[in-house]
Structure 1
Amino acid sequence: MSNDWREGRPAAGGNPLLNRFAPMAAAAMLYPARRAGNGALKLIPGHVPLPDFVADLGGISPVLGRIGSLEVRLATTRKQIKQAQRLRYRVFYEEMSAVPNPAARLARRDMDGFDAICDHLLVIDNGEAGGVEKRKPKVVGTYRLLRQEVAERHAGFYTASEFDIAPLLARHRGKRFLELGRSCVLKEYRTKRTVELLWQGIWNYVRHHRIDAMFGCASLEGVDAEKLALPLSFLYHFAAPPGDWAVQALPSCRVDMNRMAKEAVDPKKALHALPPLIKGYLRLGASFGGEAVVDRQFGTTDVLVLLPVSVISKRYVNHFAGGGEV
């Protein structure tokens, strides 16, 4: 998942959307990563890169939705994942303020050890449907999806690099969790239609895998918490999770979200200051953990999004399942 679209790193405001990760090195493309007790990432040797053939999708169709010339689908080849990584690099590092490491700069791809174990949701523009000017298909949006059973077999969740999610998972043992991350959309495609298509894809994925709850990091542009006092305080006072869904940030990068008294928060102004991504999550019924995290490499302040499937209104469920406008 900065500001607009951040979810993956940069983007809020006109930005990408939830998780990303400081790429680790060229080898990180080939191996998932594991976090040591000191927070450092270690590559897990012996992991085989994704093959250049259709992956085993467990019975789910790669194509999860269409609107006009746009199609949302799961990546099934290494080439498609590289296209998603190039899009992330373009948005996070060229448009936004993230600073690439040498490996990412050389490859011009945003990449990390989690890419090899995640499913990658892509929005593809197939050109004028049936028109004379048929353009070459291109990836214009992406989201990274990590199911709990996959995370537990490999490196865990990316979100664990910022938030202490272990107690949350323990309290809800038996529920199926899905991590959403590293979302971004090409600037000229940042429209309601593209966002709806992404969520149509996510919803079909959630239904197929019988997911109970989604979570991930969403970003506010900037690392000065005082300048973000209004939106952070709004989320703290008006979008706090129930007690059994509360999550603490890791002490090394924790930021207090309760920076203004509830009476001093102007909800209208606060909503205006929030990235579109976070506003979209709020509309769906998401809550936000009571602590934030500063990510200086990406120049963002991250909050934890918590979205149990049960809280999504029937109106949106029907819409994502193929209904009309919402």
Structure 2
Amino acid sequence: MMLGKGHLQAREAATEADLQAAQRLRWLAFMGKRGACDDGAAVDADDYDADCRHVLIEDRRSGQLLATFRFLHLQSGAEIGRSYSARHYDLDRLRDFPGPMVEMGRFCIHPEHGDPDILRLAWGAMTGYVDRHGVQLLFGCSSFIGTETQGYADAFALLKDRHLAPRRWLPRVKAPKVFRFARALARFKPDLRRAQAELPPLLRTYLLMGGWVSDHAVVDDQLGTLHVFTGLEVAAIPPARQRLLRGVAG
């Protein structure tokens, strides 16, 4: 996998050093933002890294790593138990999903860089893989910064009103600490402008393409985030959005 856009390039990790660079960036983006003590070599790593493929988005000019994500290919919903998301959500309903699936995870952008083309290139790289392998569902955990729900009421209310998963796929509660926003905010009407501002960029992109979410958020104390299970059925992506993605994918 190799894809370029301007001064940016996306490629798949090929060496142990590539993986360590991705793990280092993940630590900076998740734990470093919370002020965790940094000895200069701290990384975010887990047992799922060995089973996943890792994408690096770099600046061609300097070679600096600007963003990363990992993905896990599953032949069908029968393999959903292998996913990272299955640690946090009861995904038994998705076991009946018939086609190939990909879990995207640990997506992060370097805290000092915010070029919107980074996210576009990430989606372009994933689109190329989806087309080549006939993937029918993308899923993962979309993270809000912090573990407190204050400040996100409008965003969660918007998710409750417009973007809950179809009941046939809706994840059930599994994690010990969750915020059941669909229930807690049942009568709360969101301010749309505030809601859009509160949504993480990756989740906002999922929703623009027709994605859906769980009815609760998991409190992840390890990463210092709140996250919602997010799914996107490829066949449901609007044709105009598909053309844009394939334009980036080349």
* Same fold, judged at TM 0.5 (above): yes
Q: Distance in 2 between matches of 1:194 and 1:300?
A: 22
CA drift at 1:86: 1.4
SS in 1 for 2:244: helix
- The answer to whether residue 118 in structure 2 is matched with residue 118 in structure 1 is no
Match of 2:25 in 1: 87
Match of 1:50 in 2: none
- Is the 2:212–2:230 Cα contact (8 Å) retained in structure 1? yes
Match of 2:87 in 1: 161
CA drift at 1:204: 0.5
SS in 2 for 1:187: coil
Q: Distance in 2 between matches of 1:76 and 1:186?
A: 20
Unaligned stretches of 5+ residues in structure 2: none
Match of 1:73 in 2: 11
Match of 2:142 in 1: 218
Change (3 A) 1:296 1:145: same
- The equivalences for 1:267-306 within 5 A come to 267-306=192-231
Q: Distance in 2 between matches of 1:246 and 1:151?
A: 13
CA RMSD of aligned residues (A): 2.6
Between structures 1 and 2, the one with greater helix share? 2
**Which of 179, 190, 208 is matched with 1:265 structurally?**
190
**Which of 107, 110, 113 is matched with 1:183 structurally?**
107
Q: Distance in 1 between matches of 2:242 and 2:85?
A: 26
- State the AA in 2 paired with 1:160: A
CA drift at 1:191: 1.8
Q: Distance in 2 between matches of 1:191 and 1:284?
A: 20
- The equivalences for 1:2-81 within 5 A come to 62-63=1-2, 65-81=3-19
Match of 1:16 in 2: none
| Number of aligned residues | 248
Match of 2:174 in 1: 250
SS in 2 for 1:245: coil
CA drift at 1:266: 2.2
- The answer to whether residue 249 in structure 2 is matched with residue 315 in structure 1 is no
- Is the 2:80–2:86 Cα contact (8 Å) retained in structure 1? no
Higher relative CO (Cα under 8 Å, sequence separation at least 6) belongs to 1
SS in 2 for 1:111: coil
SS in 1 for 2:160: helix
Q: Distance in 2 between matches of 1:274 and 1:260?
A: 16
Q: Distance in 1 between matches of 2:56 and 2:25?
A: 10
- State the AA in 1 paired with 2:247: G
TM-score, length basis structure 2: 0.89
- State the AA in 2 paired with 1:118: C
Match of 1:19 in 2: none
- Is the 1:293–1:301 Cα contact (8 Å) retained in structure 2? yes
TM-score, length basis structure 1: 0.69
Q: Distance in 2 between matches of 1:217 and 1:114?
A: 14
Change (3 A) 1:209 1:232: same
Identity %: 27
- Is the 1:162–1:253 Cα contact (8 Å) retained in structure 2? no
- State the AA in 2 paired with 1:320: L
